[in-house]
């Protein structure tokens, strides 16, 4: 099969579009013929191995200390058709159209991907395209996790910092769906996009610092994790909640202290990916509650180009590889 492989950590140029053996499903696995797979910031961070030290060490030991060994194909979100199943598989059968998360094994940037049937994997509803489905696992599940954790009440003021990228483009419509009044922050070039996603108020981070508004927000979801910790806490109403998607180590240390000393809550947590939440998100898309924002679609052979776009941060919403052209409704 064709896949994008990387043999060393580094810039997008380390990616090679090449032939690798097609994987065979184990007894508890299904094999997916991949139709679409997302390209996200976390893929670029993995390729370049750009992680904070506390994450760098365990992840590097896992993936390969000098060169990538265990993980040589990137890709965290997959959508496609099941073309083979292991002997013990009961949840799925050949021909099912599915989408899901590849978890720690990654490997979606290929023509075929094997996943445990117990992985966060579910059937794709009619009316949701493979490209749309491929955006939902990482972006959608992380956004849903932090929105739920914020326990948003109708009418609350919610600010989403970094609203124009992968996770933010789901967080805005989901926060609106839960009844919030949404302010979104991103680069000048994305302000119209933020409005189209449902933000009532938009802030250009190159011109304005949202933390200078004083106590104002009930919830702040800092997707990009770049807002200063103390100023973000200050920008919350007395019983406000700050949720940091991409936290610094110092923020993780300070979060429990803030939560103990004040009525404000600060949370730095990781989403638990489930098939049920994937179903929930796909139903919202099928019912037109929101539509995943896809900026560009690339062929698998153009892997480096796709990585360059995502790494530049200039993409609006999601970037997707279209691997099999014959889309099934």
Measured CA to CA, the distance from residue 146 to residue 320 in angstroms comes to 23
Q: Give yes or no for residue 121 binding ligand NAP (CB under 6 A).
A: no
Number of residues that bind ligand NAP (CB under 6 A): 27
Closest distance to ligand NAP from the beta carbon of 324 (Å): 24
CB of 7 to ligand NAP, least distance (A): 22
Q: What are the φ and ψ backbone dihedral angles of 82, each rounded to 5 degrees?
A: -70, 125
Asked if 292 touches ligand NAP (CB under 6 A), the answer is no
Q: Give me the residue whose beta carbon is nearest to ligand NAP.
A: 165
Interaction between residue 185 and ligand NAP (CB under 6 A): yes
End-to-end CA distance of the chain: 24
Strand partners, 182: 158
Interface with ligand NAP (CB under 6 A), residue from 15, 32, 42, 150: 42
Q: How far is CA 270 from CA 50, 141, 273, in A?
A: 18, 10, 9
Beta carbons within 8 Å of 294's beta carbon, 6+ residues apart: 131, 132, 135, 317, 318, 319, 320
Alpha-carbon gap, residue 102 to 112, rounded angstroms: 12
> Residue 2 Cβ, how far from ligand NAP at the closest point, in Å?
25
* 165 lies in the binding site for ligand NAP (CB under 6 A): yes
d(CA 36, CA 24): 20
Confirm or reject binding of residue 167 to ligand NAP (CB under 6 A). Answer: yes
Q: CA-to-CA distance for 257 and 260, rounded, in angstroms? A: 5
Q: Is 173 in the site for ligand NAP (CB under 6 A)?
A: no
Site for ligand NAP contains 186 (CB under 6 A): yes
CB nearer ligand NAP, residue 53 or residue 270 = 270
**Contact between 80 and ligand NAP per CB under 6 A:** no
217 closest CA partner among 157, 266, 172, 148: 157
Which residue lies nearer to ligand NAP by CB, 147 or 245? 245
Please, which residues bridge with residue 185 across strands?
Answer: 161, 203
Residues 204-263 that bind ligand NAP (CB under 6 A): 205, 223-224, 226, 245-246
Token pair for residue 108? 């979606």
Q: Which of residues 25, 75, 140, 162 is near ligand NAP by CB under 6 A? A: 162
Q: List the one residue from 30, 32, 39, 40 that touches ligand NAP (CB under 6 A).
A: 40
Note the residues at the interface with ligand NAP (CB under 6 A).
Answer: 40-42, 45, 138, 142, 161-162, 164-168, 185-187, 190, 205, 223-224, 226, 245-246, 270-271, 313-314
């Amino acid at each position: 099969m064709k896949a994008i492989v990387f043999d060393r950590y580094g810039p997008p140029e380390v990616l090679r579009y090449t032939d690798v053996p097609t994987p065979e499903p184990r007894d508890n696995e299904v094999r997916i013929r991949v139709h679409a797979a997302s390209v996200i910031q976390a893929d670029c961070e993995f390729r370049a191995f750009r992680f904070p030290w506390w994450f760098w060490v365990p992840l590097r030991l896992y993936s390969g200390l000098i060169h990538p060994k265990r993980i040589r194909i990137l890709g965290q979100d997959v959508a496609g058709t099941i073309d083979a199943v292991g002997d013990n598989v009961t949840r799925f059968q050949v021909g099912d159209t599915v989408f899901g998360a590849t978890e720690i094994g990654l490997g979606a940037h290929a023509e075929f991907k094997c996943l445990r049937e117990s992985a966060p994997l579910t059937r794709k509803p009619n009316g949701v395209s493979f490209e749309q489905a491929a955006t939902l696992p990482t972006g959608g599940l992380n956004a849903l996790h932090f929105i739920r954790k914020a326990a948003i009440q109708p009418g609350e003021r919610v600010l989403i910092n970094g609203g124009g990228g992968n996770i933010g483009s789901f967080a805005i419509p989901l926060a609106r769906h839960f009844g919030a009044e949404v302010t979104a922050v991103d680069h000048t070039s994305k302000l119209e996009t933020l409005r189209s996603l449902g933000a009532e108020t938009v802030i250009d981070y190159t011109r304005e610092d949202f933390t200078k508004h004083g106590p104002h927000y009930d919830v702040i979801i800092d997707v990009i994790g770049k807002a200063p910790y103390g100023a973000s806490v200050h920008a919350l109403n007395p019983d406000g909640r700050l949720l940091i998607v991409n936290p610094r180590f110092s923020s993780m240390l300070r979060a429990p202290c803030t939560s103990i000393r004040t009525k404000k809550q600060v949370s730095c947590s990781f989403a638990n990916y489930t098939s049920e939440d994937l179903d929930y998100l796909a139903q919202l898309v099928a019912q037109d509650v929101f539509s995943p924002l896809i900026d560009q679609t690339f062929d698998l052979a153009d892997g480096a180009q796709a990585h360059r776009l995502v790494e530049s941060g200039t993409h609006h919403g999601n970037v997707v590889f279209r691997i099999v052209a014959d889309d099934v409704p």
